[in-house]
Amino acid sequence: MLDFSESTEVTDLRNRLRRIISREIPPEFLGAFTDDPADLATTERFCKVLGTERLLAMSWPPEFGGAGASSWEQTALREEMWAVHEPRGAQYMGINWVGPVIMRHGTRAQHEKFLPPIAAGDVIWCQGFSEPGAGSDLPALRTAAVKVDGGWRITGQKIWTSYARMAQWCFLLARTGPAGGRKDGITVFLVEMDQPGIEARAVPSMLGNHHLNEVFFTEAWAPDAAVLGTVGGGWDIISDVLAFERVGIARYARCERLLTWAPIALGDGWDDLPPALLDRWTRALVHTRAARLLAYKVVDHQVRGGLDPADAAAYRIAVTTLDQEVAEVLMDICGASGLAGTETEGGSGRTLFDRAVEDHWRYAQASTVASGTLEMQKQHLARSLIRR
């Protein structure tokens, strides 16, 4: 039975993290990928601090730059970061799943080369999965890797690639052989981005800078040592990637912070909101806490070594739809209260709460598409339940 009470170690960690955040992150920080370069610089500096204190990848083994912390301490770290608009910036990708997957499937040489820089906050990774015509349907990918002397030449296109223009490395899927079954013949490559034959272009969107890109590979180089796992055995690795990725983002923590901030931001105006809107706020808060419990169920199963894909998919469905529910409720609260557009001391014409709500709303629009569409998650859930 899962005990939901928090250990002293986890509580102490939360307090430690909050002190560091208070010291290192400005109160007006709303994420790394704004139009202000200072926000990205803040996250880069912050990650170095976490890395120095072995907090960035704290659940990793000490030999790889971690602290050997428990999965529950790592969960607390995720929650504290997402509650304040993820000041790790692009690092969460390397920490949450690139590193753990390399740890599980990589060679000793790959461990030594890739893991310590991730744990230190020295490197950014991007994910080369989706393609035009093969978004959530990963087995339909067409990017091809052709064997040559000493390595591989890779040609193809990826789309919706977050951080591609700032990343040093790409966790790339490419087809290396014929598909006997749809998932056969796919290989994972760890590809250096700064090389001839790779071009990353921004895809403009309301999500902000660096979130969406397209990447073109024209005979890009990957040595034999860049293959993760076995040639043609990439789909077994991808199953691990998706499990790590779907539970590694504590979106519910940001939702809860914004929901509980609303009555404080509105002050006396809170009681003037329409009863129906207050009811929606209450339901959203209940759904937020339910999503947290689903996340804890998945973490508990991971700790015990028995993660059920159905649980991971159910959590993903709950937390992404929660993102959009909370975004709509909070936007309506800002509009109904007249909070949006009010003057502030800084003269920006908008309150910090209002700007935080809009940032969350923008981000939430893509939440049911990113990392596998909501429809695909429902398919995963249904198939997992049928197999039982």
Confidence band for 318, pLDDT divided at 50, 70 and 90? confident
Asked if residues 132 and 167 have their Cβ atoms less than 8 Å apart, the reply is: no
Query: In this model, does residue 237 exceed pLDDT 60?
Result: yes
Local structure of residue 268 (DSSP, 8 states) = G
pTM equals 0.84
CA distances from 172 to 98, 166, 349 (A): 11, 16, 44
pLDDT band at 346 (very low <50, low <70, confident <90, very high): very low
Q: Give me the mean pLDDT over the 335-362 stretch.
A: 72
Q: What homologous superfamily is domain 250-387 in, according to CATH?
A: Butyryl-CoA Dehydrogenase, subunit A, domain 3 (1.20.140.10)
293 closest CA partner among 260, 261, 256: 256
Q: For 70-99, what is each residue's pLDDT tens digit?
A: 989 989 999 999 999 999 988 988 998 899
Copy the structure tokens of residue 189.
């490559």
Alpha-carbon gap, residue 111 to 102, rounded angstroms: 7
Cα Rg, the chain, nearest whole Å: 21
The pLDDT score that the predictor gives to residue 302 is 75
Q: Is the pLDDT of residue 6 over 50?
A: yes
Q: How is the chain split into domains, by residue range?
A: 8-89, 126-232, 250-387
pLDDT interval class at 209 (50, 70, 90): low
Q: How confident is the model at residue 1 (pLDDT cuts 50, 70, 90)?
A: low
Start-to-end CA distance of the chain, whole Å, equals 21
Of 52-56, 59-63, 227-231, 239-243, least confident by mean pLDDT is: 239-243
**What three-state secondary structure class fits 140?**
helix
Q: State the pLDDT at residue 366.
A: 72
pLDDT band at 238 (very low <50, low <70, confident <90, very high): confident
∠ CA 31-36-39, nearest 5°, is 40
Alpha-carbon distance of 165 to 197, in angstroms, equals: 14
- pLDDT value for 181: 64
pLDDT score for 374: 65
Asked whether the predicted pLDDT for residue 128 surpasses 60, the reply is: yes
260-277 confidence digits (pLDDT tens): 999 999 999 999 999 999
More confident residue, 137 or 244: 137
**pLDDT for the residue 371:** 59
Structure tokens that stand for 261 in this block: 């901030």
**Looking at residue 240, what is its pLDDT?**
75
Q: What is the pLDDT of residue 245?
A: 61
Q: What is the mean pLDDT of residues 182-188?
A: 88
111 vs 4: which has the higher pLDDT? 111
Per-residue pLDDT tens over the stretch 286-315: 999 999 998 888 888 777 776 667 777 788
What pLDDT, on a 0 to 100 scale, did the predictor assign at position 229?
96
Tokens standing for residue 327: 């975004």
Structure confidence at residue 180 (pLDDT): 61
Mean pLDDT of the chain: 87
What is the per-residue pLDDT for 350? 72
Per the listing, tokens 């700032």 go with 166
CATH fold group of domain 126-232: Butyryl-CoA Dehydrogenase, subunit A; domain 2 (2.40.110)
Report whether pLDDT(22) > 90: yes
